[in-house]
Amino acid sequence: MRANDKGTQRMEKLSAKDLLTPIAVIIAGVLISGAILWSNKQLIDVARVAYGAEAAASPPTATADITKVSQQGVPFIGDPKASVVMAYWFDYQCPFCRENEEKVMPRLITDYVKPGKLKILFKDFAFLGPDSQTAALAARAVWEVAPDKFYEWHKAMFDHQDEENAGWGKKEDIIALTKTIPGIDAAKVEQLMTDRAKDYQKEVEADGAEAAGMGINGTPGTIIGKQLIPGVPPYEQLKAAIDAGLTQVP
């Protein structure tokens, strides 16, 4: 009996030891599995949050498209029904815009605007400071007072461009320059800059927002068809874009 007791006792001890080990393994496995599942859930949640934040932070892809550019009340030169339309964003204080005006614009006017093939929209991107804003408001007033003189005035503004925010764009200086151009009622321009300042400012801001929506983040910026052309491009690049547009005309 004692032998059996010992045997039984030994077996009981062995059984307890042997049973405890797999039980411990099972419990550990359950805990590890739970930990893995919890960790995976946490990782998934983190990934979802990160993805959602990234998606929320990423704006829709900007797409240049001349057919979506607003033309209502926008200064322009050329035949209103020209086959190709070019939108041109600029700042009167931008030195690169002045370079564009001197090197590229005259050739575009000679080759495409005067023959009635191209209409150029002048869109404000007045971001270089207070003088830029004042000049943009003046441009709106000039367009309202004497649209046929707008480009002459526009060119004169760039011809007299000074250093950025050096005071050149002050209202009194712009009006003085406006008085030198025959056919523009400078007094009326000055009055409109005051009376319609809020309206003009909204139009200027709308131009800037439109530019940003089409991928323009600096000046000059040009859109022809669905092509965005930043900076001062070689004339040949603009010519190719315009010619491509002309070939699509029925």
Q: Domain containing 108 — which CATH number?
A: 3.40.30.10
pLDDT at res. 55: 29
Percent of the chain with pLDDT over 70: 74
95 & 50 share domain: no
Query: For the residues 193-211, what does the mean pLDDT come to?
Result: 96
Question: Which residue range(s) make up the domain with 91?
Answer: 66-247
What are the DSSP E strand ranges found in 100-153? 118-124
Position with higher pLDDT, 1 vs 226:
226
Percent of the chain with pLDDT over 90: 69
What pTM was estimated for this model as a whole?
0.74
Number of domains in the chain: 2
Which of these three, 58, 87, 104, is where a domain ends?
A: 58
**For the segment 141-197, what is each residue's pLDDT rounded down to a tens digit?**
999 999 999 999 999 999 999 887 777 778 999 999 999 999 999 999 999 999 999
**For the segment 116-146, what is each residue's pLDDT rounded down to a tens digit?**
999 999 999 999 999 999 999 999 999 999 9
242 & 182 share domain: yes
1 & 125 share domain: no
Residue 213 has pLDDT above 60, yes or no: yes
> In Å, what is the CA distance from 133 to each residue of 86, 87, 141, 191?
23, 19, 13, 16
> In Å, what is the CA distance from 146 to each residue of 118, 120, 151, 212, 235?
21, 17, 10, 29, 29
Residue 6 has pLDDT above 70, yes or no: no
192 & 83 share domain: yes
